[in-house]
Structure 1
Amino acid sequence: MKIVKLFTLTFIFNILISFNIRSQGFNENSESTIQFIDSLANAQYPATEPGLTLLISRNGIPLFVKSYGLSDILEQYPLTENNVFAIGSMSKQFTAVGILLLANEGKLNLSDNIKKYLPQYNTHGKDITVKQCLTHSSGILSFTEKEGFDSLFTLTLSKDKMIEFFENDDLLFEPGSDFSYSNSGYLILGMIIEKVSGMDYNQFIRKNIFEKAGMTNTYFYGEENIIPVKAIGYDGRGISTYKETSQFFSGWTEGAGNIKSCVNDLLSWNNFLISGKLIPEDLIQEAFKPNILPGGLNSNYGYGWNVTMLEDKKIIRHGGAINGFLSDAVYLPEDKIFIVALSNNTGKSPDKLTDKIVLKILNLNSADPDRIAYDKNSFDLYEGSYEVQRDGGRLLKNYTNDKQCRFIFVENDSLKLQRTGGGLFTLLQYDKDKFFIESSDKRFEFVRDGDGKVSALDVSSYPVTFGLTDLCIRSDAERPKEREIITVSQESLKNFEGEFELQPGFNLKIFTENGELFVQATGQEKLKLYAESNNKFFLKEVDAQVEFIQDKDNSVNKLIFTQGQQMECIRIK
């Protein structure tokens, strides 16, 4: 819905107040820290695109508040600190605290089987507890990644129908034995809150949390018409391709991601929670403690928060991703620092920004590790294939039954990594058995058994790993053979040149340069195309192919772009 245009004076005033640095500093180098943060955010979120609002506080007092970019591309409204964003999975902490409120009142126990409250739910004969849903150790797959969900997320369905969509699927693992991030588990927790409290989920959270915390500018999905200053969510990359997103049916997000808020309200929430006025200190600390799995595995996840250690500092964090919006919030309890970043641009990751802010504030290195010379004597031990177990905090089998591997091999005296369907990367060594990719947050460690043989590849993220690390087990899968590249005439390459529409506003431009053929997607870098036949080409950076469809007169009016699925692109120029 278009927003009525305000007076020009109000527009200018919003620009002036969108940058607000409060009086207290971060440390003795506060001015340089502020300049560093501001330059990072400005570079990532230009004024002409959907953007981000950033708040940083210490001891509960805002130190830095600034907005970057637009809340509405059509009307060219700038973002301000009062804009309301969908916060996605950051909502889970409110559900978790709602459960803890009921537990503190003696109305439920975290060790209760969920069938006590949802007797019709299919647990496949297993005991699945409330705590296991809180810690993503229930084994229940996440419905958002299940095949078929794309056709359902905008539909108005009863809770019973939503539960039917995933409850009969096999559990991913024995409850309590592993970790796999599950929106389904938090949908179930929201239903348990309703069952135990006798209140609608939204009513319970608003009465028991929002109102008590003084969150006066926070709402739920489905309440868009009463939000006074909302940000519009956009998907895409590049100013010409940003588009407003379709909205989830609010029932799907309930408990897992249905809250919309602003940076100031989220600071009020964090302040109120840690004050101990809502739930006792011991319950707060329980929520902020990572769940330990059998064998001593640290899941890095508590109740609604990701909980990790960075050097000797505890990091309490959760982000969110929902159509058109991304969010991230970090709390550093020892330093009493809270950082929250809300964005209406899914083309750019706010967590990359908050990572750098955390490292800067804690005076930790944000650059790549210092590289050391390869231990080439170990290359033979490293080479091989390693089966991917999890991705993005979820077990891979939540997404697909297809096996995926990370292939390690030596090429030109360097160690290379390529994932199934992914690009080719050079691994650089920084310690014994430890490697990184230049300008990437990924870290790779080869795991040895008692005999010194490499049995697995452990993949983590720096500075913070979400959930369990991905322990890739050595397998016997063969690395795909390199494709044979052929030479195609310059006349044929010129015939392929043009612009082809992949989807409205997102095109593939095909052009020649210095006798070679390139493809460039809207808003992205150009990539070289390699010929494997007279009309079929592939990319080396990603597992993608382009097939030019020629008519009887050899004219090319469409192409087939394949990356996981086939997409027909019609020539528009």
Structure 2
Amino acid sequence: MASRWLVVLMTWLACAGCARPAKTPDPAPTVDGLMADYAKPDGPGASVVVIHDGRIAFSRAYGLAEVQTHTAATVETNYRLASLTKQFTAMAVMLLVADGKLRYDDRVVDVLPGFPDDARQVRIRHLLNHTSGIWDYEDFVPENSTVQVKDADVVRLVAQAGRMRFEPGTQVRYSNSGYAVLARVVEQVSGKSFAVFLRERIFEPAGMRGTVAYEAGISTVPRRAYGYAPEAGRLRPRDQSPTSAVLGDGGVYSSVVDLAAWDRALEKHTLLGEAGQREAFASAPLPGGASAHYGFGWFVDQDAGRPRLTHHGETCGFTNAIVRYPAQRLTVIVLTNRAGGEPWRIAQSIANHWLEAPGREPWPFESMANSR
């Protein structure tokens, strides 16, 4: 009798074992394969992080943060984020709105002295979601310029156009100018420099200890990655350009470890309440029922019915990408210190490793003109 119950028990345990869900495959071979081009021992590299279910599920670095000194990249290496900066600029504005010091429908001309009068109908909201119609300041910076443009210069450069691209709110066109102007709005309304505001209201509360809005001669970047770009068949130093000193559209340096802390702050609403933050993740509507596929600092779309938030960043010597699936609590970030490449495709492929149904391409930015 005892032996019969033993057989039954063994059979039940075997079936129970069969019913257990399969263990998630080790991501390292997949990620290493995708990052192979950045893993060369004598070239610029990259750092990667995957945040899943509120914790860092995978992180790794490849290649060099600085080729000349043979300094290896680590997960704490700080890269220039380029347009991934825009999510912090947007958060700064949202915090001022939450403080009651600013409204999304305020006219920029009423908030910021010197904003061109021909753009008098541009609202704060239009700048945030790229529906302002103002021209990109980079169109007015000579290629051979040796003087770096700063956020304060952008208003003057935009005014040179003398006209708008389109009526505010009627179209979407990616504009670095909008986010440089927003940095100036933050300074005007808060009475603090943009870099100080970000540090005090975002980076420190979120636990982003190494992140900085870099200003030459004022701040330093710890564990800094230096940028490189292909030239004559080789990757050569190319860390700065005439527009590298503009902070609002792309001047923040950060690491994948700090960005994991940022992701955690977004999920836990550490900086801003859920209702206020939700607006950042809502795509701006356009006339006729169309969507801008952009919220406040994030591209927004649906991927197989799943809300997806993305952004890429490209600037002198750096190319980066982030993808977030809020409902799946999944975020993938890829930072690189070289021009070129498509880290957004890598980030999506890594995300697919965790998703039951693989995500799709393209990301929304690929159909929007003048992305950076």
TM over 0.5: yes
Q: Give the match for residue 89 of structure 1.
A: 83
How do 1:277-292 and structure 2 match up within 5 A?
A: 277-292=270-285
Q: Give the match for residue 229 of structure 2.
A: 235
Q: Give the match for residue 168 of structure 1.
A: 160
Q: Give the match for residue 349 of structure 1.
A: 342
Distance 2:50 2:137 in 1: 34
Q: How far did 1:277 drift?
A: 2.3
Asked if 1 retains the 8 angstrom alpha-carbon contact of 2:310 and 2:363, the reply is no
Q: Choose the corresponding residue for 1:465, options 355, 360, 364.
A: 364
Q: Give the match for residue 260 of structure 2.
A: 267
Call closer, same or farther: CA 1:212–1:249 in 2, change over 3 Å.
Answer: farther
Distance 1:113 1:102 in 2: 15
Q: How far did 1:98 drift?
A: 0.6
Distance 1:210 1:131 in 2: 23
Call closer, same or farther: CA 1:320–1:310 in 2, change over 3 Å.
Answer: same
Q: Give the match for residue 209 of structure 1.
A: 202
Q: Choose the corresponding residue for 1:143, options 137, 140, 147.
A: 137
Q: How far did 1:365 drift?
A: 5.1
Asked if 2 retains the 8 angstrom alpha-carbon contact of 1:143 and 1:149, the reply is no
Asked if 2 retains the 8 angstrom alpha-carbon contact of 1:141 and 1:180, the reply is no
Deviation string, structure 1 residues 90-147 (Cα, Å, up to 9, x no partner): 1111110111111011111100000111242114164100000000000012122x15
Distance 2:242 2:339 in 1: 19
Letter in 1 for 2:266: L
Distance 1:190 1:64 in 2: 33
Letter in 1 for 2:85: S
Asked if 2 retains the 8 angstrom alpha-carbon contact of 1:132 and 1:175, the reply is yes
How do 1:299-378 and structure 2 match up within 5 A?
A: 299-364=292-357
Cα RMSD after superposing both structures: 2.3
Call closer, same or farther: CA 1:279–1:142 in 2, change over 3 Å.
Answer: same
Q: How far did 1:167 drift?
A: 1.8
Q: How far did 1:316 drift?
A: 0.9
Asked if 2 retains the 8 angstrom alpha-carbon contact of 1:71 and 1:79, the reply is yes
Tell me the SS of whatever aligns to 1:30.
coil
Letter in 2 for 1:40: L
Q: Give the match for residue 9 of structure 2.
A: none
Q: Choose the corresponding residue for 2:101, options 99, 107, 112.
A: 107
Q: How far did 1:349 drift?
A: 2.1
Tell me the SS of whatever aligns to 1:71.
strand
Q: How far did 1:158 drift?
A: 6.6
Distance 2:119 2:72 in 1: 53
Distance 2:87 2:149 in 1: 24
1:298 aligns with 2:291: yes
Asked if 2 retains the 8 angstrom alpha-carbon contact of 1:330 and 1:340, the reply is yes
1:60 aligns with 2:54: yes
Tell me the SS of whatever aligns to 1:326.
strand
Q: How far did 1:464 drift?
A: 1.9
Asked if 2 retains the 8 angstrom alpha-carbon contact of 1:58 and 1:337, the reply is yes
Distance 2:149 2:288 in 1: 41
Q: Give the match for residue 75 of structure 1.
A: 69
Asked if 2 retains the 8 angstrom alpha-carbon contact of 1:290 and 1:301, the reply is yes
Asked if 2 retains the 8 angstrom alpha-carbon contact of 1:179 and 1:467, the reply is no
Q: Give the match for residue 485 of structure 1.
A: none
Asked if 2 retains the 8 angstrom alpha-carbon contact of 1:87 and 1:259, the reply is yes
From the two aligned structures, give the one with the greater helix fraction.
Answer: 2
Call closer, same or farther: CA 1:41–1:47 in 2, change over 3 Å.
Answer: same
Q: How far did 1:252 drift?
A: 4.6
Tell me the SS of whatever aligns to 1:165.
helix
Asked if 2 retains the 8 angstrom alpha-carbon contact of 1:60 and 1:267, the reply is no
Q: How far did 1:287 drift?
A: 0.3
Letter in 1 for 2:361: Y
Letter in 2 for 1:139: G
Deviation string, structure 1 residues 360-402 (Cα, Å, up to 9, x no partner): 3224457xxxxxxxxxxxxxxxxxxxxxxxxxxxxxxxxxxxx
Q: How many residues align?
A: 347
Tell me the SS of whatever aligns to 2:279.
helix
Q: How far did 1:249 drift?
A: 5.7
Distance 2:103 2:231 in 1: 46
Q: How far did 1:330 drift?
A: 1.4
Call closer, same or farther: CA 1:86–1:297 in 2, change over 3 Å.
Answer: same
Please report the TM-score for the alignment, with normalisation by the length of structure 1: 0.57
Distance 2:320 2:103 in 1: 31
Structure 2 gaps, min length 5: 1-20
Distance 1:345 1:467 in 2: 20
Q: Choose the corresponding residue for 1:36, options 30, 34, 42.
A: 30
Q: Choose the corresponding residue for 1:117, options 104, 111, 115.
A: 111
1:221 aligns with 2:120: no
Call closer, same or farther: CA 1:130–1:50 in 2, change over 3 Å.
Answer: same
Q: Give the match for residue 502 of structure 1.
A: none
Distance 2:53 2:190 in 1: 33
Letter in 1 for 2:338: N
Q: How far did 1:306 drift?
A: 0.6
Q: Give the match for residue 48 of structure 1.
A: 42
Identity %: 28
Letter in 1 for 2:312: G
Asked if 2 retains the 8 angstrom alpha-carbon contact of 1:274 and 1:284, the reply is no
| Pair member with larger Rg | 1
